[in-house]
Structure 1
Amino acid sequence: MKSMPNFLDDVAPLTPHLVALRRRLHTVPEVGLHLMRTQALVLEALNGLDLSVSTGLRLSSVVAVLRGGRPGPVVLLRGDMDALPITESTGLDFASTDGAMHACGHDLHTAGLLGAVRLLHERRADLPGTVVFAFQPGEEGFRGAPLMLQEGLLDEAGERPVAAYAIHVDCASPRGVFSTRPGAMMASSNGITLRVRAAGGHAALPHGGVDPVPVAAEIILAIQTFVTRRIPVGDPAVISATRLASSSSAPNVMPHEVQIDLGVRALSEETLELVTTELPALVTALAAAHRCSVEVGVRRSYPVTRNDPAETTRVVRWLEELHGKEQVNLLETPVMASEDFSFMLEEVPGTLVFLGAQVSPDAAPPLHSPTAVFDDSVLGMQAATLAELAWRRLSA
């Protein structure tokens, strides 16, 4: 049997190239499903390699298939490519200036996955199987993963993958520390829109009309009580009011409508059902008490990200062997953020892993912050680990 490659050694000369590529990606962030500049950079990086490469029809995805020289199963590695509609204020010399920003580290995900392509391609003659590399747009709320699945991602290699892996960097966690857990890893993502409607009126004569603004304020406060008193502590939900807008743009007009947008995260179908059933009843009753009506709209976006227990046991063992037990953290509880890699994990057993990319513990802004910065020296570790997970799973 062939000995295991040492991808951590292999990646050392490649790391400066990955850092430079990541910084190129960082300067041209794109939001949504159509990332034409990003796709062009990915295709440029793949050019000349012995791969089968295809692009998406309804989104600017890239799928590269690497067939090894030895027989074996198929493994899927995924990296997302899209940015957020955030104006960057990091002060970096490669900062974005177009009103979008890679504030969630997807530029590292893209560069790291390209690094894994290079590492495995160099050893393709001994690769025991096939690796599918999925470069995915539209993770940030645009449901890019299900679109790629609908376009045949899992059939690109001619047979379905036996496992799927992804690494997500975190700028608020210590550099080089890997974190994961079996079962629920991240929450589902859902939205509720409330439109509080009333007669409106003259702002100087509020008794002659009905003002929905204070009613909306009361509803927002009531939602916080709802979370603490109706949601089980052991099966939590997070409900955040993320947008508040009225139908009036004049200071002397009481609006006839106020819209409240809520973000809802949950870890179980039971808790989500409780929220989507009881919360509309609560806000409807509150509105009626103030002579208002309310229209409630519920949107289910991303399911719970569930790591397969058997795959995650393997991954944790491999990470410990590769990086040392002190660099691997088994999370006690899930993270209440969400990921559309969840759609892929519903189809293929696999594992999502976090990788700390903190620049400094004294200044560690969170993901999705306009000041979020990442230590991109982790790219070599990220690329080598993705390659290692694929190789070991193909050899299992």
Structure 2
Amino acid sequence: MRLILKGEGEKLAQEIIQLRRLFHQFPEVSGEENETSKKIQQKLDEYQIPYTTGYAATGVLGVIEGSLPGKTVAIRADMDALPITEETDLPFVSKIDGKMHACGHDAHVAMLLGAARLLNNVKGQLHGKVLLVFQPSEEITPIGGAGPMMDDQVFADHTPDVIFAQHVWPDLPVGQIGVRPGPMMGASDRFKVEIEGAGGHASMPHQTVDAIIVANTVISNLQTIVSRNVNPVDSTVLTIGRIEGGYRYNVVADKVTFEGTIRTFKNETKEMVKDRFFSIVRGVTESMGAKATIEYYDGYPATVNDEKWAQRVKDTVQELLGANSTPVVEPCLGGEDFSRFLLKYPGAYFWLGTAMPGVEKQKPLHDPKFMLNEEAIPLGMEVMAQIALDTLYELKAKDNTFHTKPLLKKVANYK
């Protein structure tokens, strides 16, 4: 009989919500998650869950060993905050100037700790092993934390057969989960270009090579990549987010710097856009008598869900939250470091609805006024734990077939 944890998350709700608020008040940005890591370790000690540390400096790997033989499932939470000054009026507002959990990673960590408690309580009936992956530096593309954790042999002793992660999502209401097979999040490259011309007096432009004019021409031509080189059915974004140049109104600029990002789903589209980007920048600048220095960073690859395990998430969620709990969702071109885990191990990434009630226009992730509905926290920990249980059950089945309506065994005497 398969274990079911429906309703068990609510019993831990207040404890885990308070834990989330603690993390929220003391955010640590990428590479600085020392106190966050220590607090995670303290809670795992309290729960009597063994762990190892030091992966990508501050990463933690908890291990819940089931009493019964079986496979290994990993569930992951990212830990880092953002260099953003919080502008909410929450009673647990960030106490660290210029730093904020504006992407919900505080809730991710708290929910994974809650899921750990739920799973550890039933480890005597657990078929296999659950790995708890607390990952630093998700926000610091292109390096991230997933790759460095694997470089540090996080899975050397315990290798996952399947891996899952969730992310709070303000575009979905509490009680709904967004999941789909195939692309879920986009590849996220970034670039910086310096245009070098020849400066001079504004009254004598014929003696100059105006870097502002060159940069303007380059940027205009870059926009033709999406409109004229990319297949219209392949989603692509090329955005210039920052531009700087010039000295004063009567001086022709000799240098201009601009920065931006390229987002794609398909690897072949990414490579084509990258190639066209270099061709246009170099070709236009040379034709106008200027020079270009390009810094291009290959960021996180696209986050692509395995079809089988995306369906596993959907089936589990519908059983826990109802048939209407998994609406059809479109993928997002935001970048996600979990993609690097999915390059190595099959699995799925999904969104947890956290929309604030009564708010017509939700504040997006990375906004200084971002808030999440804490009613989603017990659901999030419950969903993560149940997905791990159901996946282990599926993996142990001799015919590798999961029956959608098995006999269920309610967890009793939970403490």
Deviations 1:374-394 (A, max 9, x none): 112211000000000001111
Separation (CA, whole Å) in 2 of partners of 1:252 and 1:52: 67
Answer yes or no: is the 8 Å Cα contact 1:50–1:66 preserved in 2: no
Counterpart position of 1:102: 101
Counterpart position of 2:349: 352
Amino acid at match of 2:119: L
Separation (CA, whole Å) in 2 of partners of 1:226 and 1:58: 37
Counterpart position of 1:213: 212
Q: CA deviation at 1:250?
A: 5.7
Q: 1:339 aligns with which of 336, 340, 350?
A: 336
Q: CA deviation at 1:306?
A: 0.9
Amino acid at match of 1:224: Q
Answer yes or no: is the 8 Å Cα contact 1:82–1:137 preserved in 2: yes
Q: CA deviation at 1:155?
A: 2.5
Structure 2: 5+ residue stretches without partners: 395-415
Answer yes or no: is the 8 Å Cα contact 2:305–2:349 preserved in 1: yes
Q: What SS does the corresponding residue of 1:138 show, helix, strand or coil?
A: coil
TM-score normalised by L of structure 1: 0.93
Q: CA deviation at 1:120?
A: 0.7
Deviations 1:246-286 (A, max 9, x none): 3x556665443211112111111211121111122122232
Q: Are 1:28 and 2:29 matched, yes or no? A: no
Amino acid at match of 1:278: R
Q: How large is the RMSD of aligned CA atoms in angstroms?
A: 1.8
Counterpart position of 1:119: 118
- Describe how 1:147-162 pairs up with structure 2 within 5 A: 147-157=148-158, 160-162=159-161
Counterpart position of 1:306: 304
Q: 1:72 aligns with which of 70, 73, 79?
A: 70
Q: CA deviation at 1:353?
A: 0.7
Q: CA deviation at 1:92?
A: 1.7
Counterpart position of 2:38: 40
Counterpart position of 2:397: none
Amino acid at match of 1:376: E
Deviations 1:160-191 (A, max 9, x none): 21110111111232222101111111111111
Distance 1:46 1:249, change over 3 A: farther
Separation (CA, whole Å) in 2 of partners of 1:57 and 1:14: 28
Amino acid at match of 1:352: Y
Q: CA deviation at 1:23?
A: 0.9
Counterpart position of 2:401: none
Counterpart position of 2:412: none
Amino acid at match of 1:374: L
Segment drifting more, 344-353 vs 208-217: 208-217
- Describe how 1:158-307 pairs up with structure 2 within 5 A: 160-203=159-202, 205-246=204-245, 253-307=251-305
Distance 1:224 1:90, change over 3 A: farther
Answer yes or no: is the 8 Å Cα contact 1:88–1:95 preserved in 2: yes
Count the aligned residue pairs: 390
Q: Are 1:328 and 2:329 matched, yes or no? A: no
Counterpart position of 1:393: 391
Segment drifting more, 285-294 vs 228-237: 285-294
Answer yes or no: is the 8 Å Cα contact 1:132–1:156 preserved in 2: no
Structure 1: 5+ residue stretches without partners: none
Distance 1:101 1:284, change over 3 A: same
Q: What SS does the corresponding residue of 2:7 show, helix, strand or coil?
A: helix
Q: CA deviation at 1:203?
A: 4.6
Counterpart position of 1:376: 374
Amino acid at match of 1:72: G
Deviations 1:310-362 (A, max 9, x none): 1112221121111112111232x421111111111111110101011010341
Q: What SS does the corresponding residue of 1:135 show, helix, strand or coil?
A: strand
Distance 1:128 1:340, change over 3 A: same
Answer yes or no: is the 8 Å Cα contact 1:59–1:144 preserved in 2: no
Separation (CA, whole Å) in 1 of partners of 2:238 and 2:30: 24
Separation (CA, whole Å) in 2 of partners of 1:219 and 1:103: 34
Distance 1:93 1:254, change over 3 A: farther
